[in-house]
Amino acid sequence: MTDYVTVTADHPQLQSDLRALVRLSIAEDLRNQYDWTTVCLIGEERNGGCQVVPREAGICAGLVTVPWIVDEFDGDLQVELLCDDGDPLVPGQAIANLTGNVRDLLTAERTILNVLSRLCGVATQAFRYSEVIADFKTRLYDTRKTTPGWRLLEKYAVVCGGGHNHRLGLHDGFLIKDNHLALGGDKNGPMKTSDAAEKALLWRSAQVDAMTAPPIVEIEVDSLEQLADVLPIGPNIILLDNFKLQDLSTAVKLRDETNPAVELEASGNVRIDTIAEIAATGVDRISSGALTHQATWLDLGLDWFDASTT
């Protein structure tokens, strides 16, 4: 199996990205001032507690970030996580306890819910898609169609929902698209898919000693003719862009006859109601931007309980 890096909770950049977003959230809410409503109405020494509670069913993602968020707010708070990322969410069943200074709780409340609602929504979307193709060999992948600044977090959520990660960015994989072919050509027309793939493979090979080139070469084709041209060159993955179902089946047969080591990835027009018939064609991978850009926030809330010591 050819694969890119998987974003897990211990990915070295995940916490850093989250903390940067929280600092932006703090700046948006406070602007170096105060939460005036809370300061006005809540005593400085008042302690209390709340639970993060899902209002609807879904998949948990981002719970690992809650201690990081609290730490970035520099709040006098304790966090108790009651489930794991990837677990199913039951409406009304708490997933975390937060206790401590009520002022700090109220100030951090919205940021915590924003992060969790977004990531749980992405995980739930990925789970729904992956469940539809669970009986096929085909693997489900995300794309780079992510919210700016949220890429690793959203890709982490996709994994929590049972999906797989496509490349994290432009830096960790060759992905030759139609624009590369058009702009890499000359007055005689676009560059051939076989020429582009061969150039990328040779480039990668030349960089191996320096460990600077990414290991995967993938190329996008939009016709069976392009596929036939590039298959003998042997890129790791060939992306079949907006192929009709019959052409996807033909592409799989052609691959099996020509170069079985190459993985085929279907993309384009992938929806919850089309993904099963795409998987049934025998492709190895399906990638869909809908996992992130069409995901709906999951409804989460904070339910308060009395933990006052004053």
Please give the annotated binding residues for substrate, written as ranges.
110, 143-145, 167, 177, 220, 241, 267-269, 288-290
As annotated, the binding site includes 110, 143-145, 167, 177, 220, 241, 267-269, 288-290
Helices (H), 47-147: 66-73, 102-132
Q: Please, which contacts does 174-179 make with residues 24 or more away whose CB atoms are closer than 8 Å? A: 174/200, 174/203, 174/204, 174/214, 174/216, 174/217, 174/218, 174/219, 175/218, 175/219, 175/220, 175/239, 176/200, 176/217, 176/218, 176/219, 176/220, 177/220, 178/220, 178/222, 178/241
Six-digit token pair at 293?
Answer: 């850009």
Distance CA 287, CA 277 (A): 14
Among residues 46, 145, 192, 204, which one is catalytic? 145
Active site residue 220: yes
How distant, in Å, are the alpha carbons of 14, 214, 253, 273, 276 from that of 151? 9, 19, 35, 26, 26
Active site residue 110: yes
Among residues 220, 263, 265, 284, which one is catalytic? 220
Active site residue 137: no
Active site residue 187: no
Among residues 178, 195, 229, 241, which one is catalytic? 241
| Residue type present at position 30 | L
Whether 224 contacts 250, CB under 8 Å: yes
DSSP for 259-309, please give it: -TTSEEEEESS--TTTHHHHHTTT-SEEE-THHHHTPPPP-EEEEEE----
- 191 DSSP assignment: P
Active site residue 177: yes
Among residues 19, 46, 128, 177, which one is catalytic? 177
Among residues 28, 55, 56, 110, which one is catalytic? 110
Residues marked as catalytic? 110, 145, 177, 220, 241
